Amino acid sequence: MVLRMQEGTKHGGIHCIQMSTSVEEIETESGVIHEGLIELNLSTSHAFELLEQLYAGWEMIDRQWSERRVNETKDGKSIIFKGNLLTWAVRKLG
Q: Cite the DSSP H helix spans in 1-94.
A: 2-7, 44-54
Q: Single out the residue of 18, 20, 65, 16 nearest to residue 42, CA to CA.
A: 20
CB 93 within 8 Å of CB 6: no
What confidence tens digit (pLDDT) does each residue in 2-21 have? 888 999 999 999 999 999 99
Task: Identify the band that residue 94 occupies on the pLDDT scale cut at 50, 70 and 90.
Answer: confident
Quote the CA–CA distance of 65 and 76 in Å, as a whole number: 31
Per-residue pLDDT reduced to its tens digit, 36-76: 888 889 999 999 999 999 999 999 999 999 999 999 998 89
